């Protein structure tokens, strides 16, 4: 779920879709999800704070920049 949905605030669907594209691109490149948490609440907090790591150093810096804009 996009951060706006997690925070339960009004959101623009097309921006949430761009965020979802960022998630898909991250998964395609790393085979892992960008946001993690040991509990559902922790996961939602990490999404709301946009707390994730670029775990694969092989990702091109331009692609990393694109991911940061999407997420």
| Residue-range domains of the chain with CATH | 3-70 (1.10.510.10)
User: For residue range 3-35, what is the model confidence (pLDDT) as tens digits?
Assistant: 999 999 998 999 999 999 999 999 999 899 999
Instruction: Say what percent of the chain tops pLDDT 90.
Output: 69
pTM: 0.83
Residue 57 confidence (pLDDT)? 83
CB 47 within 8 A of CB 5: no
The stretch 25-51 carries a mean pLDDT of 92
Band (pLDDT 50/70/90 cuts) for residue 38 is very high
* Cα–Cα distance list, 14 to 19, 43, 61 (Å): 9, 23, 25
How high is the mean pLDDT of the chain? 91
CB 63 within 8 A of CB 29: yes
């Amino acid at each position: 779920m996009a951060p706006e949905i997690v925070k339960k605030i009004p959101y623009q669907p097309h921006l949430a879709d761009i965020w979802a594209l960022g998630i898909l691109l991250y998964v395609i490149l790393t085979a892992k999800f960008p946001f993690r948490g040991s509990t559902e609440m922790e996961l939602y907090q990490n999404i709301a704070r946009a707390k994730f790591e670029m775990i694969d150093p092989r990702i091109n810096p331009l692609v990393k920049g694109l991911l940061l804009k999407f997420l």
